[in-house]
Amino acid sequence: MKISIIPIGDELLIGQVTDTNSGWIARHIAPAGWEVTDVNVTGDNAEDIRRAIDLAFERSQVVITTGGLGPTKDDITKGVLRDYFGGEMITDPEVTDNINAIFARRGIAMNPLTAAQAIVPSSARIIQNRVGTAPIMWFERTDGRVLVAMPGVPFETETMMAEAVFPALLERFPSSEHIEHAVVMVTDHTESALAMRLSEIEEALPPHLHLAYLPKPGLIRLRIDGHHSDAEFIRSEVERVHSDIKTLLGDAVLTDRDLSPAQTLLEECRSREVTFATAESCTGGNIAHEITLIAGASDVMAGGVVSYSNEVKSRVLGVDPELIIAHGAVSIPVVRAMAEGVLKVTGARLSVATSGIAGPGGGTPEKPVGTVCICARLELPGIEPRELYETARFNGSRSRIIDSATTRALILAVKLLRSAE
């Protein structure tokens, strides 16, 4: 089935807010064999919203709007939908109860603007928004086509799409097609090099299977998609190709599941009962941030030091100042000392350290912007300490260089931990 998405809001058009809802919705509906045919970002203008709905219904059985349902005057979507589908504005007592309950949990007083969110078109079927005050509205045309109006707050959209809206859509539009996906996260390859290596497998794929390459700096998410009416058949087909790719790529496979490098490292550390620490200069705590974003990180993450200055490198991590003078802060000897020092400071067993030039200034001919030295160090009882280190060259903006260095550091930590087996 085909779905059109209409994100609504002037803030989307002028770049103050980025539309993340559409991508999340597309990923969430894909396992049912559904696809997003178009995304039409629209401002808070009644005529533009009506035109976008008309166009969407020409292309899709289901239209999902996000945003424009707030309590302020610039949020006009509810009124536009009442005019479009007919009916009158009524106060829904269940929405009122839901809003009151949410405000009571938050310990704040209700105000008239928020109370007015319980006023909804009589032509809509209401789905209670258990995590927000804007109700979700389901409109159905006489030809069976459906529009679902959802809030624009990503947390609310994601939660209610997963819990209520998508199940209701599946019930209304049951799918006979079975979809299977498998993922291989691949390191140490460019996209073109990976495609060349997989050329024989890819050329032999039957029509019901497809490979998608989704590259990020330092990592390629290789997704195997299968579509067929026979669930058991397509499951076995996807598993077969998944296995063939893992066998062919060997150590270049970071994980055979849809996990980030941080998630992969956490699992590897947890399974070996190894604690982890970071010593970061150019990445500024981003490695620790990626780890601690994950629930349950506390049983692995010991701590970290953002040693941005040379003084902190020396005073906190114990890096010899003469080492910095001799080699420079951006050097393999310094990150090796940082990785060793943070293990002493935190008591962890595994560490990564980074020092580099994220830019846009500060580069030299010998160490241009994007130069990052990385070291992973492992100290386990009964064996000699082990290290993996390298000097990498990353391209792009400051944030891209930091993200690239973060990814590479996490990958080196995984590889080092696995090498100890």
Give the torsion sign (CA, 37, 223, 268, 349): negative
- Phi and psi torsions of 77, nearest 5°: -60, -40
Residue of higher predicted confidence among 29 and 371: 371
Q: Binning pLDDT at 50, 70 and 90, where does residue 136 land?
A: very high
Separation of alpha carbons 262 and 293, rounded Å: 9
Question: Is residue 330 packed enough to be buried (19+ CB in 10 Å), middle (13-18) or exposed (0-12)?
Answer: buried
pLDDT at 179: 83
Residue at 247: amino acid letter: T
pTM: 0.80
Structure tokens at 411: 């990958």
For range 244-270, the mean pLDDT: 97
pLDDT at 26: 94
Please write the tens of the pLDDT for every residue from 196-237.
Answer: 999 999 999 999 999 999 998 889 999 999 989 898 999 999
Beta bridge partners of 353: 279, 375
For range 42-51, the mean pLDDT: 96
Residue at 380: amino acid letter: L
Structure tokens at 103: 């405000």
Please write the tens of the pLDDT for every residue from 371-412.
Answer: 999 999 999 998 999 999 999 999 999 999 999 999 999 999
CA angle 223, 227, 229 (to 5 degrees): 155
pLDDT at 46: 95
Separation of alpha carbons 412 and 300, rounded Å: 17
pLDDT at 414: 98
Q: Binning pLDDT at 50, 70 and 90, where does residue 105 land?
A: confident
Q: Binning pLDDT at 50, 70 and 90, where does residue 112 land?
A: confident
- Average pLDDT score over the chain: 94
Structure tokens at 202: 């890819």
User: Could you tell me the CA-to-CA distances from 123 to 6, 126, 279 in Å, in that order?
Assistant: 20, 9, 58
Structure tokens at 151: 């809030």
For the cut 90, the answer to whether the pLDDT of residue 107 exceeds it is no
Say if CB 370 and CB 394 are below 8 A apart: yes
Say if CB 172 and CB 25 are below 8 A apart: no
Q: What share of the chain is helix, strand, coil (3-state, %, to 5)?
A: 45, 25, 30
